[in-house]
């Protein structure tokens, strides 16, 4: 390369294949997504989140015996330490739950007996511990911020039952649990998105699982990424009434403003996960008896498609689904964390198995080299 000729810059790494991966495959031309070869819709309808988590890590779905062992192993790891409970109680009451879970995961790295061991078996054991403990930490931070007593994990609960019980203090009816489980499955993995790539980048320096996941959480918080599911619900609440939806979105168009929950870097003709999540969000609206949010959503999606030819992404139906399940809005992205820990850690393990330090180049645009002037001359 000629040092004076500016090379092509792939801003945002658009269209760049940075590595190979066997975890999942996005096929934008057919709006489809597979995890280890299985279509996400198929997994969402026919499997539990625990089965899909096992699949992402092990590469194959578990048989009944393997599933029982996996559930027992992870359920036994749900408790977090008294020290972490104490630290969580000291968090500012108005801390965002994403900052709380990021800090809690970092703290778990201080305590984990295998933090420094980045061998593949140790990485996998830590991934399972994080999978088990993250809902407990999210719930502890949330309940402390609201002055509510901590609920202890129940090892007999499924992942979904446990999450509801820890956060909201009760286990909802089966339709709600199923909708939650579906959202967990759909959120679990999505190739080299920003947070997953962040986790792989951290791993590439030889750093440990907890560091990679802490960084992944920091990346996921952004409103262009996971934070969009919260932003969607703020939008729907701001509009408040289906009659006002068209006027609201027109004003966004007039101001050339982003509409959260729409658009995707990879999918340009529709997000493969949306129809399944929308179906379950609509079921939630029926269960709760409140169709307002899905009705506003329907109008926004229609306008976006007609006027901008932009489709909704997964965060668009997931936001109202979580709201209808009874979660407060700042918990939406932490719930995403509780799911994506599986995909992140599967990628961390894959990166570690065939690692090369990730270190791209930058094209310099600053001043030419110059001498440092003495302080008196500045
Ligand atoms: N609302 C309004 N316009 C949007 C839009 C949105 N949500 N998403 C994309 N666009 C427009 C862009 O402004 C751009 O228009 P232009 O060509 O006139 O400049 C065009 O569509 C192409 O978008 P681009 O910014 O190139 O897409 P990207 O791949 O860089 O960004 C996202 C992808 C996801 C970051 C972007 O769509 C976005 O910010 N969406 C809202 C946040 C969100 O929902 N994030 C969750 C993602 S799963």
Of all protein residues, whose CA lies closest to atom 24 belonging to ligand 1? 265
What's the token pair of residue 240? 């408040």
> Is 290 part of any domain?
yes
In this structure, the residue with its CA closest to atom 16 of ligand 1 is 256
Q: Which atom of ligand 1 is nearest to the CA of 263?
A: 37
Q: Which atom of ligand 1 is nearest to the CA of 262?
A: 7
Residue 17 lies in a domain: no
Q: Looking at the structure, tell me whether residues 212 and 79 fall in a common domain.
A: yes
Looking at the structure, tell me whether residues 190 and 239 fall in a common domain. no
Active-site residues, by number, are 225, 264, 315
Question: CA dihedral in degrees (172, 174, 178, 184; nearest 10)?
Answer: 30
Per-residue pLDDT tens digits for 96-109: 999 999 999 999 99
Give the atom of ligand 1 at the shortest distance from the alpha carbon of 314.
48
Confidence of residue 4 (pLDDT cuts 50, 70, 90): confident
In a domain, 295, yes or no: yes
Q: Whose CA is nearest to atom 34 of ligand 1?
A: 264
Ligand 1 center to 259 CA (angstroms)? 8
Task: State the CATH number of the domain containing residue 31.
Answer: 1.10.580.10
Burial of 76 (0-12, 13-18, 19+ CB in 10 A): exposed
CATH code of 259's domain: 1.10.230.10
Question: 306: CA distance to ligand 1 center in Å?
Answer: 16
Is 0.85 topped by the overall pTM? yes
38-85 residue pLDDT tens: 999 999 999 999 999 999 999 999 999 999 999 999 999 999 999 999
Phi, psi (deg, nearest 5) at residue 320: -65, -30
Residue 14 lies in a domain: no
Whether residue 253 lies inside any domain: the answer is yes
Question: Both 30 and 85 in a single domain?
Answer: yes
Residue 311 shares a structural domain with residue 186:
no
Q: How far is the CA of 225 from the centre of ligand 1 (A)?
A: 11
Q: Is residue 5 part of a domain?
A: no
Judge whether 285 lies within some domain: yes
Task: Specify whether 274 is located in the same domain as 219.
Answer: no
Question: Do 219 and 237 reside in the same domain of the chain?
Answer: no
* Residues 265 and 118 reside in one and the same domain: no
- Nearest-CA residue for ligand 1 atom 35 is 224
Give the pLDDT confidence score for residue 2 in this predicted structure: 52
Domain that holds residue 42: 24-223+337-353
Could you tell me if 187 and 108 lie in one domain?
A: yes
Inside any domain, residue 234: yes
Q: How far is the CA of 261 from the centre of ligand 1 (A)?
A: 9
Residues 107 and 38 in one domain: yes
Average pLDDT over residues 257-283: 95
pLDDT score at 31? 86
| 68 and 35 Cβ atoms separated by less than 8 Å | no
* ∠ CA 210-220-119, rounded to 5°: 25
Residues 6+ apart with CB under 8 A from 324: 281, 284, 285, 287, 288, 290, 293
Is 80 exceeded by the pLDDT of residue 3? Answer: no
Q: What is the mean pLDDT of the chain?
A: 97
Q: How far apart are CA 235 and CA 261, in angstroms?
A: 10
Q: For a pocket test of ligand 1, which of 13, 263, 272 has the largest count of ligand atoms closer than 8 A to its C-beta?
A: 263
Q: Tell me the mean pLDDT in the region 257-274.
A: 93
Reference 235, options 217, 257, 218, 256; nearest CA is 257
- 274-288 and 292-303 helices, crossing angle to 10°: 150
Residues 298 and 162 in one domain: no
List beta partners, residue 176.
Answer: none
39 and 118 both lie in a single domain: yes
Question: At which residue do the structure tokens 């092990």 appear?
Answer: 58
Q: Whose CA is nearest to atom 36 of ligand 1?
A: 263
Is there a single domain that holds both residue 115 and residue 242?
A: no
- Distance from residue 228's CA to the centre of ligand 1 (Å): 12
- Tell me how many domains the chain contains: 2
Among candidate residues 161, 111, 176, 170, the one with its CA nearest the CA of residue 143 = 170
């Amino acid at each position: 390369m000629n040092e004076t000729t500016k090379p092509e810059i792939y801003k945002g790494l658009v269209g760049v294949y940075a590595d190979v991966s066997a975890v999942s495959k996005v096929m934008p031309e057919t709006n489809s997504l597979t995890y280890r070869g299985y279509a996400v819709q198929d997994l969402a309808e026919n499997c539990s989140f625990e089965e899909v988590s096992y699949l992402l890590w092990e590469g194959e779905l578990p048989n009944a015996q393997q599933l029982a062992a996996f559930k027992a192993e992870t359920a036994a790891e749900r408790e977090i330490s008294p020290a972490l409970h104490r630290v969580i109680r000291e968090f500012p009451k108005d801390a965002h739950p994403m900052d709380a879970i990021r800090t809690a995961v970092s703290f778990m790295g201080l305590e984990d007996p295998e933090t420094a061991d980045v061998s593949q078996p140790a990485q996998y054991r830590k991934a399972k511990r994080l999978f088990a403990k993250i809902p407990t930490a999210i719930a502890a931070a949330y309940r402390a911020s609201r002055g509510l007593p901590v609920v202890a994990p129940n090892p007999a609960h499924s992942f979904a039952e446990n999450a509801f019980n820890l956060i909201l203090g009760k286990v909802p009816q089966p339709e709600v649990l199923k909708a939650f489980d579906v959202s967990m499955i759909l959120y679990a993995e999505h190739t080299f998105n920003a947070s997953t790539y962040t986790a792989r980048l951290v791993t590439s320096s030889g750093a440990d699982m907890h560091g990679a996941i802490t960084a992944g959480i920091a990346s996921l918080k952004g409103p262009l990424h996971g934070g969009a599911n919260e932003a969607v619900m703020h939008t729907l609440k701001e509009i408040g009434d289906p009659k006002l939806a068209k006027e609201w979105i027109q004003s966004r168009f007039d101001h050339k403003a982003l509409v959260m929950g729409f658009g995707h870097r990879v999918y340009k003709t529709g997000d493969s996960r949306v129809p399944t999540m929308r179906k379950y969000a609509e079921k939630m609206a029926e269960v709760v008896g409140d169709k307002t949010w899905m009705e506003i959503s329907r109008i926004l999606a229609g306008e976006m498609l007609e006027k901008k030819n932009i489709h909704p992404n997964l965060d668009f139906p997931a936001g109202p689904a979580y709201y209808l399940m009874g979660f407060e809005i700042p918990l939406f992205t932490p719930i995403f964390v509780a799911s994506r820990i599986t995909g992140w850690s599967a990628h961390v393990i894959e990166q570690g198995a065939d690692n090369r330090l990730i270190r791209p180049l930058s094209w310099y645009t600053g001043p030419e080299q110059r001498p440092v002037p003495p302080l008196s001359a500045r």
